[in-house]
Structures are given as C-alpha cells and as structure tokens.
Amino acid sequence: MRRNTKNIMNNMGVKVRLLSAMTLAVMLTACGGSSDNSEKAQVKYETQVMRPEARVYNLYIPASLHGVTEVEVHPRVSGIIREVNFKDGIKVTKGQTLFVIDQTEHRLKVQNAQANLSAAKAQMETTRLRYETNRKLAEKNVVSEYVISTSRNAYHVAQASVQQAEAQLAMEQTNLGYCTVTSPINGIIKENGFKIGEVAELTDLLCTISDNTEIQAWFSYTESQLLDLLDRYDLKPSSEGLKDIDGKTAGARLPHLKLQLKNGQEYGYEGVVTEIGGIVDSKTGTVLCKATFPNPNDELRSGLSATLVFPTTMHGVFRVPKTAAVHLQNQLLFYRVRRDSTVEGVICEAIPSNSGKNYYVKSGLRSGDEVVIKGVQNLSNGMKVK
C-alpha cells in the first residue's frame, strides 16, 4: 500500500514539473521573451534630402619652386681651378668673380698671337714698300705690268695675314678673359662641388645662379581639371594667351593662390597664375602651368617643393556626409531612396571636402533626392528603409 502511494506521488511530481515548465514558457512568450515566430526589430536608416549649394573647395596641387631666372654657369675654357671666390647659398652680383682658371697657358697663347701679329705687320709693310716702289717704276716704264700686279697681290695677301693675326690675338685675349668666370646675373648661387686644384672641362657645370626676387611655382593640371577651369572662368585661347570675354588675362581672371610649405606653414604672400601650357602631354595627360609669387624677404629658394592651394568655388553641388559613401574601387556609390521606400545605388562623381567629413557630389544626384547617410554597408538594391 505504501509502495503504491509513493508511485502515485512520484507520478504527480512529474506532472507538476511539466506543468511548471509549460507555464514558464507561456509566461516568457507573453512577456516578449525569445520565440522563433517573433519578428526582428526593423533597422532605422538616417537620410538626407539633397539641396544644391555653392561651396569653396581648395584644390591642393604639388609644385616645384624656381627663381624667375636661373642660369647654369659653365667654363668657356678648360683648365685647373686656381680660385673659388664664393660660398654656397650667398647672394652674388652681376660681374662678380666666381672662379679663376689657370691663366698660364692662355697668357702664352696671347703672347704668341701678339708676336705673330707683329711679324704679319712687318711683312705687310715690306710688301707695301715693294708695291709702292714698283708702281713708281712702272710710271717710268722700268718694270712691266706683271711685276706691278705681283707686288700688289703680295701686299694684299700681307694685309689679310695681318687681319688673321689680329683675329687670332683677339680670340686668345678672349680666352684669357674666360679664365675669370663671373656671375651673369644677380642672385643666389648654388655650387656644384668644384674645388681649387680640380680640372674644369667645357662640359662641366660649375654652379647655378637663381634670381629669387620672384618665385615661379611650376605645377601640372590634369586634362579634366584644365577643361573645368577654362569652362568655369570662361577663358578662351587667343594670340596673346588665355583671355576671358572682357579681355582679362588668365592671371587677372583666376583667383589668387596660396602656397603651403613642406613644414605645413602657409607662405605670407599670394601668387597668380602667369602661364598655362598650350599642349597636353600625351604620356601623362597633364598640362604644365606656372604661378608667380613675390619673394621680398628671400624666404623662398629655388629648388624647394611646396603645395599650391587653389581655391575653387563650385556651384550646384550636394554636400553629403562621408558616411553615406560606399567605395567601389575608384568609384563612389550612394543609396537613393525611391518612392516605394526601397533604395537604389547610384554611382556619383564627387570630391572630398577639405575638412574630410563630407563629399561634394558634382553629378549623379538631383535636387530633392533623399539619400541614406548612415548604415549604408548593410544596404543593397531593393531593400526597404522605411
């Protein structure tokens, strides 16, 4: 009897545990607990309506700096360098002596040329006297016409020899003068490592002198950048260069440029575009251009590299946060919301803002378009976002 009662109690305990488990499951379901049939919470996507704006965008272009005039100094005669009369990086003036090349050989050549000239003059005087004598004798019919012609021709040959000797002397004197190498312009000098005792050949570059009163920044525009520039400022080619419809030159029409140095500092003077090349390099697809900056304090030196800051005003662009863009190799894709609340991907032409937080979309979107600006990594064409 006790055994039956115990079995009945055990069976009742199983039923109670089963009932408790079922009750707990119902309670969890009712309270919003996990259930295979429950719907996942819908993700909300933040969007932005496109409105065209005018934005100033700084175009950063690498540039190399050069003096307004740069002269490479080569020797006009070869020889051993006897004097070096400057230090690298100093200012030199036009006519200042820079190098002196050994003059010994050229002095001897000058002396030899002077001796040859003296001999030629003496020979000319002899032939002149002979010709004058024969001419007087001919008047008395003492000598023949042949003798007169021969003596006259000898005199003319002697005159030519004198002229030749004079030219040789002038050349040797010039070469002697070339032994003193002087500066052809005012500017900053850059040596090329030649020292006293070394031999300078005619093909050697002794030094470079740069007139840095103005600095020219040489840079390259891509073909698309150039076409965009010409169109934006309505510049047309003419026989005098690029001009606009009012006759202003490109430099007067285009905005002033700034210069950012390698240490991150901005140069204190603005420059202007002074030359836009007329030929597109077929290999690089670029056009060589030049901007000129004043350099009153000699802060800039030829040979430096810097970055041109070209302010450009863009009209009718759409400002979109960078979080809205999907990068597809070299293209940018943005998701536009359609009327049925689904999205479609649109490839757009855009450039990053100078702050780096936004893109300026130039084409691909229209005014009034609604664009998803967050969570775009999870999107695909046709997905609903509302």
Segment among 6-20, 47-61, 95-109, 294-308 with least mean pLDDT: 6-20
Task: Label residue 169 left, alpha or beta by phi (over 0 means left) and psi (-120 to 50 means alpha).
Answer: alpha
Instruction: Give the total residue count for the chain.
Output: 386
pTM of the model: 0.63
pLDDT of res. 379:
92
Domain residue ranges of the chain, discontinuous segments joined by +: 47-55+315-378, 59-68+213-313, 69-200
Helix (H, G, I), strand (E, B) or coil at 15: helix
| Structure confidence at residue 15 as a pLDDT band (50, 70, 90) | very low
CA 353 – CA 52 distance, rounded (Å): 15
pLDDT tens string 70-122: 999 999 999 999 999 999 999 999 999 999 999 999 999 999 999 999 999 99
Topology of domain 69-200 in CATH is: Helix Hairpins (1.10.287)
Cα distances from 31 to residues 18, 22, 40, 153, 162, in angstroms, run: 20, 14, 16, 135, 125
Tracing tokens 């350099």 back to the chain, one arrives at 295
Structure tokens belonging to residue 315: 């009209």
| Structure confidence at residue 204 as a pLDDT band (50, 70, 90) | very high
pLDDT over threshold 80, residue 175:
yes
pLDDT of res. 24:
31
| Structure confidence at residue 14 as a pLDDT band (50, 70, 90) | very low
CA dihedral 296, 299, 302, 306 (to 10 degrees): -120
pLDDT of res. 17:
35
Topology of domain 59-68+213-313 in CATH is: Elongation Factor Tu (Ef-tu); domain 3 (2.40.30)
Tracing tokens 């000598």 back to the chain, one arrives at 143
pLDDT over threshold 80, residue 29:
no
Percent of the chain past pLDDT 90, that is, above it, reads 63
CA 232 – CA 301 distance, rounded (Å): 33
CA 298 – CA 215 distance, rounded (Å): 10
Position with higher pLDDT, 36 vs 224? 224
pLDDT tens string 261-270: 999 999 999 9
pLDDT of res. 27:
36
pLDDT of res. 347:
96
pLDDT over threshold 50, residue 332:
yes
pLDDT of res. 240:
59
pLDDT tens string 216-252: 999 998 888 888 887 877 777 665 566 655 666 667 7
CA 277 – CA 290 distance, rounded (Å): 8
pLDDT of res. 41:
36
pLDDT of res. 356:
86
Contact 219, 260 (CB under 8 A): no
Structure tokens belonging to residue 201: 């050949």
CA 304 – CA 9 distance, rounded (Å): 98
What is the sign, positive or negative, of the torsion defined by CA atoms of 238, 242, 247, 249?
negative
Backbone angles phi, psi at 168, to 5 degrees: -65, -40
Report, as an integer, the average pLDDT of 169-174: 97
pLDDT of res. 44:
76
Position with higher pLDDT, 78 vs 273? 78
Topology of domain 47-55+315-378 in CATH is: 2.40.420
Position with higher pLDDT, 278 vs 15? 278
Tracing tokens 């819908």 back to the chain, one arrives at 42
Segment among 106-110, 134-138, 206-210 with least mean pLDDT: 134-138
One-letter identity of residue 317 = V
pLDDT of res. 276:
83
pLDDT of res. 39:
35
Structure tokens belonging to residue 80: 């051993």
